Amino acid sequence: MFIIASAMQKDFHNHATLEMLKNIPDMTWTPSIPHRFAGMSEESLRGMLLPKGKQAYFEKTTLVGAAPAAFNWQDAAPECMVVRDQGQCGSCWAFSSVGPFSDNRCFSKKDATRVIYSEQYMVSCDSNNLGCNGGYLTMDQYFLKKTGVPTDKCVSYKSGSKGVTGKCPTTCDDKSPIVLVKSTKFEDVCTNEESIKVGLTQGALQTAFTVYSDFMYYNGGIYQHKSGSVEGGHAVTFVGYGEESGVKYWVVRNSWGASWGEKGYFRMIRGINDCGIEDQCFLTSV
């Protein structure tokens, strides 16, 4: 359960851990205490993550075809890319599904311009998930396909300020009727590295990984888990891949705002399934 931080609660970050991380040899990423989390308690920070444990299994699809050596939707369609902030709510599961749905509608020209669809509607209305207390990727995808979501203009995001799930709305914020937009299908394309790469040339992908305490010190570079214990899970979005100085990486969009990491994104080592990030990833068709 999400817990509001108090003055008596222990801060998550500390300078001893930061100095330890800075002195690990052959690091491919830069540690710091992110401004986004400065002074945040352990309980509050963990409240933003998913519960520990595996996601529900879904039958996988192996995509085949030619994929370029590097690809990034930030370059291919920058007008479609938007970084959002989940705030003090464990709603990354909703942002990681509604975000790619919005992206892919923009990539495919289903929407004339990039439309922000409502994470709030999914958080408050998806009864198979747990609102601000977490969710499951497969359930997100079923919700998009069977129910759909309105635009953020209709139902704006409110749960981030206090970590409250909220009631499922029956009208838009301005009392006009809610119009729901659905996906057409979804596929788990995380069978191997090449399948993920091919999937990325078709759209952004929802994925998730295990968060270790060192990730919460990420500032930039190509993240690879080096130290620390499991803090929980986190759902994010694959948007590209590349290679730097011989190190292959995924480009991943987070939902912690544009001031975090590399302008709201991070890079993660590719091809070794670090932190389980290559276990499960969904391509949402629109």
CA–CA separation, 284 vs 286, rounded Å?
6
Q: What's CA 18's distance to the chain center, in Å?
A: 24
**Cβ–Cβ contacts within 10 Å for residue 273, how many?**
13
Q: Band the pLDDT of 43: cuts 50, 70, 90.
A: confident
Confidence of residue 55 (pLDDT cuts 50, 70, 90): low
Does the structure show a pLDDT above 50 at 2? no
Determine which of 52-56, 77-81, 191-195 has the lowest per-residue pLDDT on average: 52-56
Answer yes or no: 23 catalytic.
no
Among candidate residues 92, 106, 125, 190, the one labeled active-site is: 92
Rounded Cα–Cα distance for residues 140 and 128 (Å): 9
Considering 104, 129, 234, 281, which one is annotated as catalytic? Answer: 234
User: Which stretches of the chain are assigned E, i.e. beta strand?
Assistant: 29-31, 71-72, 185-188, 205-212, 218-223, 230-244, 247-253, 265-269, 281-285
- Residue 90 in tokens: 């464990």
Fold of 29-285: Cathepsin B; Chain A (3.90.70)
pTM: 0.94
For residue 6, pLDDT over 50 is answered with no
pLDDT band at 42 (very low <50, low <70, confident <90, very high): confident
Residue 45, pLDDT score:
84
Mean pLDDT of 8-14: 80
> Which of 233, 282, 286 is closest to 61 using CA atoms?
282
List helix spans (H) across the chain.
15-22, 42-46, 73-76, 92-107, 119-125, 137-146, 193-200
Q: Give the pLDDT confidence of 220-278 residue by residue, as tens digits.
A: 999 999 999 999 999 999 999 999 999 999 999 999 999 999 999 999 999 999 999 99
In whole angstroms, give the CA distance from residue 266 to residue 259.
12
Q: How far apart are CA 148 and CA 98, in angstroms?
A: 9
> What's the rounded Cα separation, in Å, for the pair 133 and 86?
12
Residue 187 pLDDT > 60: yes
To the query of whether residue 15 is one of the catalytic residues in this protein, the response is: no
pLDDT exceeds 60 at position 5: no
Per-residue confidence (pLDDT) for residue 51, from 0 to 100: 78
Contact 282, 93 (CB under 8 A): no
pLDDT score of 1 more than 50: no
For residues 92 and 50, is the Cβ–Cβ distance under 8 A? yes
Q: Is 254 a catalytic residue?
A: yes
Strand partners, 212: 230
Residue 53: pLDDT band by 50, 70, 90 thresholds? low
pLDDT of residue 279: 96
Contact 124, 169 (CB under 8 A): yes
